[in-house]
């Protein structure tokens, strides 16, 4: 077993499994500059390991009571260019998870919102505790969830993606399972750990080349491969979302939202 613990992202490699853990529970694992730095490094190492046939399964989880609450809005308020940078980095992470030559399992406890939900939609198999919640409540700060749409549409279908992306509604784990965003719901944290462990063990008994080929074909069929109908539009979705982030609406709405939040209203 090998492990590498950054300040904000922990990684652990055991046999043919590789675990990535967002490790800032005090901030609900919000995606900050430092978190992005560590997460990008962790995903790059996991991808390299998978390409070398050393890793078959990647487990993606969050420490504490939230999987990931989205962007660190304090950074975005303090630096108006940060929001656009975060969108571009999130888009690249989602694309990397979807095309990684390993099966990516999301282990979700608590909220997976905005950027956190985008990460979930990019994973291959999602297991969640009954306390988990999902959604894209970003229009209230002038942001579009379009960066997540290519993988979200492939995962839950066009109708489900349209509803989640436009409504900004936060849904519970059972509703997410009905939509196809979540594949299994466990009753609590302990049961979730058991379910994830059972799934990982089952996957590791299968032929790694067969699993990799299956994921590749699934991506080609659902259009999320880099050359597919949805995958080839990832850069367009990122550019469009980033452009919106630099506009007056987003910049003013995020400041207003943040001021009200700090004021407790």
Provide the CATH number for the domain around residue 165: 3.90.226.10
Which residue in 149, 134, 169, 114 sits closest to 224, CA to CA?
Answer: 149
The pLDDT of residue 1 is 67
| Interatomic CA distance for residues 233 and 239, integer angstroms | 10
Number of domain units in the chain: 1
Range of the domain at 166: 2-188+207-263
| Interatomic CA distance for residues 88 and 242, integer angstroms | 7
Residue 118 domain flag: yes
The pLDDT of residue 265 is 47
The pLDDT of residue 232 is 83
Residue 44 domain flag: yes
CB 120 within 8 A of CB 94: no
pTM: 0.94
The pLDDT of residue 260 is 83
Residue 258 domain flag: yes
Q: How far is CA 250 from CA 7, 35, 68, 162, 253, in A?
A: 30, 22, 21, 21, 5
3-state secondary structure of 206: coil
Residue 195 domain flag: no
- Kindly give the parts of the chain with pLDDT less than 50: 265
| Interatomic CA distance for residues 104 and 75, integer angstroms | 29
């Amino acid at each position: 077993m090998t492990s590498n613990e950054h300040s904000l992202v922990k990684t652990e490699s055991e046999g043919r499994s590789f675990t990535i853990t967002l490790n800032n529970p005090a901030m609900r694992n919000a995606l900050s500059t430092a978190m992005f730095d560590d997460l990008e490094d962790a995903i790059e190492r996991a991808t390299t390991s998978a390409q070398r046939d050393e890793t078959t399964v990647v487990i993606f989880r969050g420490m504490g009571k939230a999987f990931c609450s989205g962007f660190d809005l304090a950074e975005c308020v303090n630096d108006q260019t940060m929001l656009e940078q975060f969108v571009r980095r999130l888009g690249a992470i989602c694309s990397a998870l979807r095309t990684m030559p390993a099966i990516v399992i999301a282990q979700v406890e608590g909220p997976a919102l905005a950027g956190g939900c985008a990460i979930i939609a990019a994973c291959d198999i999602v297991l969640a505790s009954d306390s988990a919640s999902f959604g894209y409540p970003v229009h209230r700060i002038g942001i579009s969830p379009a960066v997540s749409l290519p993988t979200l549409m492939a995962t839950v279908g066009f109708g489900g993606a349209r509803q989640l992306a436009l409504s900004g509604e936060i849904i519970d784990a059972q509703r997410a399972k009905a939509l196809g965003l979540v594949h299994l719901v466990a009753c609590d944290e302990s049961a979730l750990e058991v379910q994830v462990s059972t799934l990982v063990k089952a996957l590791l008994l299968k032929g790694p080349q067969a699993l990799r080929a299956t994921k590749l074909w699934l991506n080609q069929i659902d259009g999320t491969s880099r050359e597919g109908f949805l995958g080839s539009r990832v850069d367009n979705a990122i550019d469009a979302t980033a452009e919106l982030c630099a506009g007056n609406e987003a910049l003013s709405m995020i400041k207003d939202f943040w001021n009200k939040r700090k004021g407790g209203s």
